[in-house]
């Protein structure tokens, strides 16, 4: 028997749109999830009707790619203003998605991670140097520098040297403002966006700054005449193995911009949240120190092989991504009319959102869900996990292509920080979250002290 999907009461025209707060969105959705124990509800966001699911069995259904696909709707439709038909914001029917995906896959193989390792190590070394001279550090800012410099060096052979600048790179400032505007537009009626001329001019100018940065990266590579198998090298040289097609200059620009955005916001958020959880869980911090002292004793320089031997640190990252996924939701849409859970009727092309936190803490899939427990990720425990209760890297074909890159970079950075520094949080940081397209801790500072006697 079919049932009506519950919808909280809203206002005329804007529906539930104004109820979604600009700050504390995650709390709002956590409360809504708690109010809907069937794991499904619908919101009217200024005329856009979206069904939200967080029950793992319903999520399993919407992750079936024969029934659901990734639509490019707000906020991604706005991010498309600057990322165009790059992988993240390409529409399903755009042929260039498959071409770019196939051309770039080899650049994300395990073998490529080994090839990027020296660059990852160089930038992690810059982070260690930057922290060595300071008693206190701004965690999110420095993780952002680390991740941006790593993707630009490993992916495009460019040195951004972010640790040498007091201010974040102009690209980052432009990107931050453009993403904020893209999120604002998601909440506004299009008519309101059209009236905000000043905001629109600033948005255009931020997009121009980002595109100029990217054009310079591409120009420098072309001018150097260098041949490389990194991301940029593949895009400039390689043909799609299936169709023989090559990527256009405009598409390469969109891909580079996409990698700069997708490749650093998320990794930096993950590392910042991981440090937050370590401060809250001293027994896990002690385990991490013990592991680092065993695998990287003294000032051992990490190698790819040593980093792959880590066990506690990867589990810290897995558990961090469960409780704080930097990308907070994934969006899907039904291909045809269908029924979820045997009773919820969904019309064709219905937008469906999976908010990750309620899924990642659903009692059906997780015991003691709010506890930071890295033993959930021991092999025997992991074997018993619900197959669709953990989606920090998205779903199916459109899942994150950069997953191994991010995890290798994050393992290395965390291991090196713990090898070199005693980290403390004397002020007892109360977690506040900054949200743009992704989330990260806001104003999170740590006290750091060298661990090695000669530093
Ligand atoms: C897609 C998460 C790091 C590049 C995605 C998606 C998620 C995600 C959830 C799917 C989004 C959707 O369905 O709309 C993460 C997390 C990361 C991370 C949590 C770090 C911990 C990276 C890195 C790169 C990258 C380092 C690049 C080097 C991409 C790209 C896509 C994507 C290009 C689009 C894939 C496609 O649709 O073909 N990521 N990501 N990500 N990610 Fe990541």
Q: pLDDT tens for residues 154-204?
A: 999 888 899 998 887 888 889 889 988 888 887 777 777 777 889 899 999
Q: In whole angstroms, what is the distance from residue 232 CA to residue 156 CA?
A: 5
Residues in the ligand 1 pocket, defined by CB under 6 Å: 70, 87-88, 101, 151, 258-259, 262-263, 266-267, 270, 325-327, 330, 392-394, 398-402, 405-406
What is the predicted pLDDT for the residue at 455?
56
* Residue 326 alpha carbon, nearest atom of ligand 1: 19
pLDDT above 90 as % of the chain:
71
Q: Is the pTM of this model over 0.90?
A: yes
- Reference 54, options 325, 274, 320; nearest CA is 325
- Reference 412, options 325, 319, 296; nearest CA is 296
Sign of CA dihedral 243, 245, 251, 252: positive
Checking if the pLDDT of 254 tops 70, the result is yes
> Is 63 assigned to a binding site?
no
What is the predicted pLDDT for the residue at 376?
98
Q: In whole angstroms, what is the distance from residue 289 CA to residue 358 CA?
A: 31
Report the phi/psi class of residue 16: left, alpha or beta, with left for phi > 0 and alpha for psi in -120 to 50. Answer: alpha
More confident residue, 107 or 437: 107
Minimum CA distance residue for ligand 1 atom 2: 393
pLDDT band at 453 (very low <50, low <70, confident <90, very high): low
Checking if the pLDDT of 7 tops 60, the result is yes
What is the predicted pLDDT for the residue at 172?
83
What is the predicted pLDDT for the residue at 454?
61
Report the phi/psi class of residue 445: left, alpha or beta, with left for phi > 0 and alpha for psi in -120 to 50. Answer: beta
Q: Which of 400, 408, 421, 438 is catalytic?
A: 400
* Residue 151 alpha carbon, nearest atom of ligand 1: 28
Is 63 assigned a catalytic role? Answer: no
Instruction: Specify the range with the lowest mean pLDDT, choosing from 188-192, 226-230, 277-281, 378-382.
Output: 188-192
Q: Tell me the ipTM for this assembly.
A: 0.99
Q: Which of 144, 150, 266, 320 is catalytic?
A: 266
Is 266 assigned a catalytic role? Answer: yes
Q: Give mean pLDDT, residues 237-249.
A: 94
Minimum CA distance residue for ligand 1 atom 43: 400
Q: Give mean pLDDT, residues 124-139.
A: 94
Which residue is associated with the tokens 């537009």?
A: 185
What is the predicted pLDDT for the residue at 328?
93
Cα 173 to Cα 141, 144, 159, 307, distances in angstroms: 12, 12, 18, 32
Checking if the pLDDT of 1 tops 70, the result is no
């Amino acid at each position: 028997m079919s049932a009506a999907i519950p919808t909280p009461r809203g206002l005329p025209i804007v529906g539930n749109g104004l109820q979604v707060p600009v700050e504390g969105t995650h709390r709002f959705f956590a409360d809504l999830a708690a109010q809907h124990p069937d794991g499904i509800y619908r919101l009217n966001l200024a005329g856009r009707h979206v069904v939200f699911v967080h029950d793992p069995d319903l999520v399993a259904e919407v992750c079936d790619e024969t029934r659901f696909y990734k639509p490019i709707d707000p906020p991604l439709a706005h991010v498309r203003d600057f990322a165009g038909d790059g992988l993240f914001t390409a529409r399903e029917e755009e042929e260039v998605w498959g071409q770019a995906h196939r051309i770039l896959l080899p650049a994300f193989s395990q073998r490529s991670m080994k090839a990027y390792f020296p660059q990852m190590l160089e930038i992690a070394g810059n982070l260690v140097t930057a922290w060595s001279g300071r008693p206190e550090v701004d965690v999110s800012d420095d993780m952002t520098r680390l991740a941006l410099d790593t993707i630009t060096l490993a992916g495009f052979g460019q040195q951004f040297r972010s640790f040498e600048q007091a201010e974040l790179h102009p690209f980052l400032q432009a990107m931050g403002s453009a993403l904020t505007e893209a999120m604002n537009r998601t909440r506004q009626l299009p008519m309101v966006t059209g009236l905000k001329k000043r905001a629109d001019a600033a948005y255009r100018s931020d997009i121009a700054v980002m595109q100029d940065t990217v054009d310079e990266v591409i120009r420098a590579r072309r001018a150097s005449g260098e041949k490389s198998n990194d991301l940029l090298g593949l895009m400039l040289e390689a043909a799609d193995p299936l169709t023989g097609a090559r990527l256009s200059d405009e598409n390469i620009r969109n891909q580079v911009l996409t990698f700069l955005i997708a490749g650093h916001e998320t990794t930096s958020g993950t590392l910042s949240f991981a440090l937050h959880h370590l401060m809250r869980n001293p027994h896990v911090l002690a385990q991490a120190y013990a592991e680092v002292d065993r695998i990287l004793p003294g000032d051992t320089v990490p190698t790819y092989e040593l980093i792959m031997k880590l066990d506690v640190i990867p589990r810290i990252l897995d558990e961090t991504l469960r409780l704080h996924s930097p990308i907070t939701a994934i969006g899907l849409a039904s291909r045809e009319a269908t029924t979820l859970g045997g009773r919820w009727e969904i019309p064709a092309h219905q937008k469906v959102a999976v908010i990750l936190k309620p899924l990642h803490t659903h009692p059906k899939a997780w015991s003691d869900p709010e506890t930071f427990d890295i033993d959930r990720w021991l092999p025997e425990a992991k074997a018993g996990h619900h197959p669709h209760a953990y989606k920090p890297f998205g779903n199916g074909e459109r899942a994150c292509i950069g997953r191994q890159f991010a995890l290798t970079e994050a393992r290395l950075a965390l291991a090196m920080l713990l090898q070199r520094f005693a980290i403390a949080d004397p002020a007892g940081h109360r977690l506040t979250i900054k949200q743009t397209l992704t989330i990260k801790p806001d104003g999170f500072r740590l006290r750091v002290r060298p661990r090695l006697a000669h530093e």
